[in-house]
Each structure stands twice: as C-alpha cells, then as structure tokens.
C-alpha cells in the first residue's frame, strides 16, 4: 500500500484523473488531498460531484476556496429563509444568487456558483449537499510515516496561535483555522512540528515573489531547529496557460517520490 498526497486541483478534473493513472492508484492505496478542489479551472461541477463519494481510501482536507464556497451557500441559505422561497427551484436559486451578488462584490468572486446555477441548472438543495460535504472535511490530517509525524494541510500548520505572539507575520489570523487555510510565507517561517513533516499547497511555486517559489516544481525545505521537512505541492497547474512551467504534482509519502503531469 502506498500513501499519496495531492492538492490544488482547482477544477481540473481530467488532470487529476491523469495523475491517478500515472501513479497507478488502486483500492489498496491511500490518497490524501490538501484542499482547493474548485474554482479557476473548467471542471468545478465534476469535482463537486466527485467529492460526494471519492472512495473510502481517499481523505479530503479543506482548502480556502472550498471554505469560501461553503460560506457562499450559507449566505444564500439566509436569503432563502428570509424570502421563504423554494430551495429545489432552479429559478428561485438564480434569483437568490443574483441578490447575493448585489449584496457584496466579494460574493462568488470566481464565478463558480454562478456557473453552477445558470449553466448547470444546479438547485440550492444540491449546492447545500456539497456545502455539507465541505463542512465535514477536516482542516488538517495527520499520519505517521517512517516514524515521523506528517501533517497534511492546505496552507500551513502551527500548534497554537501563541507561536505568533510578538512576531511580524505576513498575514493576520483570527483563529488556527485561518492559519491552516491561508498561511503563505508564515507557514514556513513560523509553522512546523518537531521531528515531523508538513505537506501543504495554497501558494503556487510559480509565484515568483513568494517564499516557496521553485519554477513550477515542488518546493522542499528543511528546518534544522525543528527537524521538520516542509513540502509545497501546489505547482500552479491552474495557471499553466500563462505559466508553461506549471504542473500538477503528487507526493508518495513512503519514499518522498514526486510525480508530475
């Protein structure tokens, strides 16, 4: 049995399937995803259908784009409740969506919900099913591999927000969940676990002015003080049209072998 980690599919269902074929993924293996299944790419609908039942040997960790989707659906639910409209109606779903868009310019910034309700004719009931799937996803997942504590998380991992007291962080975090979902450079400067490994995504390694920049390859770093290995597996695949070096990456935990498509 092998344990694989992927992240930041961003609506590229076909690329994900190609990767699963490349690694020869089977029912005897385990696959852990570090979030961001939707937005940006062409197949958010397919990815949302997939997360409904990915298989017993697949673990889905929450990403910031997934959490944002869940929040959008929550806002729409409040409008439905106030107006007492029919949640199974496609027409009412579009009407509520349009109201939510008028309330805030930040609602559905990637247009995923709009595409689902207008082009795919998805009702609010179905949106709610997907939101519940996301709400059940953990913010991180922990395994022990080769005697090391390995934490798979979307953005970054710290044991407590007290670790950030008196530091000059790049971002602001009201909760540990904020750090798990959104940390970028802070994840490598202040995060980590003793004698362990952190596997994350979120920050594309094609992003030139970010710490994990690595020309579209997996970023690996080692903190001697913590004896902690860091991996960033987001190699920017969703930006491949403008970043030819971008890739989709997969890490096998047992031997730290990296696969690309």
pTM: 0.97
Please name the residues in contact with 14: beta carbons below 8 A apart, sequence gap of 6 or more. 43
- Quote the distance between the C-alpha of residue 120 and its chain's center: 23
- Residues 97, 217: Cα–Cα separation, whole Å: 38
The CA-atom distances, in angstroms, between 34 and each of 6, 53, 140, 250 are: 6, 16, 8, 11
Question: What is the model's pLDDT at position 73?
Answer: 98
Q: Which two tokens stand for residue 120?
A: 């795919």
Confidence band of 79 (pLDDT split at 50, 70, 90):
very high
- Residues 93, 198: Cα–Cα separation, whole Å: 40
Question: What is the model's pLDDT at position 4?
Answer: 98
The lowest-confidence range among 70-74, 169-173, 200-204 is 169-173
Stretch (H or E) spanning 108: none
Please name the residues in contact with 193: beta carbons below 8 A apart, sequence gap of 6 or more. 149, 151, 157, 159, 226, 228
Q: Where are the domains of the chain?
A: 3-63+137-260, 66-135
Please name the residues in contact with 127: beta carbons below 8 A apart, sequence gap of 6 or more. 73, 76, 93, 113, 116, 117
Confidence band of 18 (pLDDT split at 50, 70, 90):
very high
Confidence band of 14 (pLDDT split at 50, 70, 90):
very high
Confidence band of 128 (pLDDT split at 50, 70, 90):
very high
**Range 200-226 average pLDDT:** 97
In sequence order, what E strands does 95-224 have?
Answer: 140-145, 148-153, 196-200, 219-223
Q: Which two tokens stand for residue 195?
A: 């004698």
Q: Per-residue pLDDT tens for 221-238?
A: 999 999 999 999 999 999
Q: Which two tokens stand for residue 94?
A: 């579009």
Question: What is the model's pLDDT at position 17?
Answer: 98
- In the block, which residue shows the tokens 């990456």? 249
**Range 31-45 average pLDDT:** 98
- In the block, which residue shows the tokens 């020869």? 24
Cβ 236 vs Cβ 15: under 8 Å: no
Q: Which of 184, 139, 138, 191 is nearest to 164 (CA)?
A: 191
Question: What is the model's pLDDT at position 22?
Answer: 98
In CATH terms, the fold of domain 3-63+137-260 is: Purple Acid Phosphatase; chain A, domain 2 (3.60.21)
Question: What is the model's pLDDT at position 259?
Answer: 98
Question: What is the model's pLDDT at position 250?
Answer: 98
Angle at the Cα of 204 from the Cα atoms of 211 and 208, rounded to 5 degrees: 50
- What's the whole-number average pLDDT of the chain? 97
Confidence band of 257 (pLDDT split at 50, 70, 90):
very high
Question: What is the model's pLDDT at position 219?
Answer: 98
Confidence band of 157 (pLDDT split at 50, 70, 90):
very high
């Amino acid at each position: 049995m092998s344990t694989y980690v992927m992240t930041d599919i961003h609506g590229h269902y076909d690329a994900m399937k190609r990767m699963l074929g490349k690694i020869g993924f089977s029912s005897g293996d385990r696959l852990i995803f570090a979030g961001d299944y939707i937005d940006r790419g062409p197949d958010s609908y397919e990815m949302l259908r997939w997360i409904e039942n990915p298989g017993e040997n697949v673990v889905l960790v929450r990403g910031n784009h997934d959490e944002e989707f869940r929040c959008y659906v929550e806002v729409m639910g409040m409008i439905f409740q106030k107006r007492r409209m029919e949640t199974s109606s496609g027409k009412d779903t579009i009407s509520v969506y349009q109201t939510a868009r008028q309330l805030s310019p930040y609602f559905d910034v990637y247009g995923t919900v709009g595409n689902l309700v207008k082009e795919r004719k998805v009702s609010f009931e179905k949106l709610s099913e997907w939101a519940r799937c996301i709400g059940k996803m953990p913010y991180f997942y922990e395994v022990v591999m080769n005697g090391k504590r390995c934490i798979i998380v979307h953005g970054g991992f710290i044991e407590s927000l007290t670790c950030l007291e008196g530091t000059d962080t790049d971002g602001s975090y009201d909760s540990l969940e904020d750090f798990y979902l959104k940390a970028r450079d802070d994840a490598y400067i202040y995060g980590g676990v003793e004698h362990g490994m952190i596997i994350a995504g979120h920050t594309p390694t094609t992003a030139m002015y970010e710490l994990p920049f690595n020309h579209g390859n997996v970023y690996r770093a080692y903190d001697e003080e913590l004896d902690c290995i860091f991996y960033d597996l987001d190699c920017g695949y969703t930006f491949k049209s403008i970043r030819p070096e971008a890739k989709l990456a997969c890490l096998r935990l047992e031997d730290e072998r990296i696969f690309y498509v």
